[in-house]
């Protein structure tokens, strides 16, 4: 029996993906536009985002984060259209990746940089939610994921 709300988790994914995208891309845009040589007035965000941990090959992490959340958003929308189980698998992997990476970044903020960035914390929460809600994605995909 097809429940009307069987895909509620996917809809939550759409919302979280969009929210994560907005959060991460705002950070990336700010970084991209504020590129002058300056010492910035104190703010946890500046300390964290100007640290070595905030970039990969010279590209700010926030950019990759924006791409990641965009993927989650787009995949979730596509799932509602074609109900492909394969998409659900991808979403699971993305959610797991997000969780692991968020834990790493959180540990770096707390124990290494010792500064907190609000936007980064929001992103970590979004990733955590994605992982938790992931357990409620349509059932078949969940078991497939476990039986890998």
Partner 1 sequence: MGNQKLQQILVWVLIVIGLAAIVLGMVGVASQKSKLGVLLNPVSSGDWSRGDKNAKVTLVEYSDFQCPACGYFYGLVKNLEKDFPKDFAVVYRNYPLEQVHKYALLASQAAGAAGVQGKFWEMHDMIFEKQSEWSVSSDVLGSFVVYAKTLGIDVEKFKTDINSKEVNDKIQGDLADGNNQNIQGTPTFFVNGKQIQNPQNYEEFKKLIDTEINK
| SS3 (DSSP) at 2 | coil
Contact pick of 29, 97, 108, 121 for partner 1 (by CB under 8 A)? 29
**Footprint on residues 61-90 left by partner 1 (CB under 8 A):** 70, 74, 77, 81
β partners of residue 55: 60
Neighbouring residues of 116: CB distance < 8 A, sequence distance ≥ 6: 44, 48, 109, 110
HSE at residue 11, side-chain half, CA atoms within 13 A, is 5
Q: Does 3 bind partner 1 (CB under 8 A)?
A: no
Q: 89 to each of 26, 92, 126, how far by Cα in Å?
A: 28, 5, 19
Q: Which is nearer to partner 1, 30 or 122 (CB)?
A: 30
Provide, rounded to whole angstroms, the least separation between the CB of residue 96 and partner 1: 25
Contact pick of 2, 5, 41, 52 for partner 1 (by CB under 8 A)? 41
Contact pick of 1, 33, 57, 146 for partner 1 (by CB under 8 A)? 33
Q: Does 15 bind partner 1 (CB under 8 A)?
A: no
The 10 Å Cβ neighbour count of residue 48 is 24
Asked if 126 and 12 touch (Cβ cutoff 8 Å), the reply is no
Q: Does 39 bind partner 1 (CB under 8 A)?
A: yes
Q: Does 104 bind partner 1 (CB under 8 A)?
A: no
Contact pick of 2, 3, 38, 111 for partner 1 (by CB under 8 A)? 38
What is the total residue count of the chain?
A: 148
Residue numbers of the site for partner 1 (CB under 8 A)?
A: 21-22, 25-26, 29-30, 33-34, 36-42, 47, 70, 74, 77, 81
């Amino acid at each position: 029996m097809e429940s009307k709300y069987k895909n509620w988790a996917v809809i939550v994914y759409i919302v979280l993906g969009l929210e994560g995208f907005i959060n991460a891309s705002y950070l990336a845009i700010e970084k991209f536009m504020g590129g002058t040589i300056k010492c910035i007035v104190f703010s946890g965000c500046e300390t964290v985002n100007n640290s070595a941990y905030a970039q990969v090959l010279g590209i700010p992490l926030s950019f990759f984060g924006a791409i990641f959340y965009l993927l989650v958003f787009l995949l979730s929308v596509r799932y509602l259209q074609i109900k492909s189980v394969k998409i659900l698998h991808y979403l699971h992997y993305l959610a797991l990746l997000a969780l692991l990476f968020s834990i790493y970044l959180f540990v770096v903020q707390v124990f290494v940089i010792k500064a907190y960035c609000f936007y980064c914390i929001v992103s970590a929460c979004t990733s955590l939610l994605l992982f938790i809600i992931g357990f409620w994605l349509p059932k078949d995909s969940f078991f497939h994921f476990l039986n890998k």
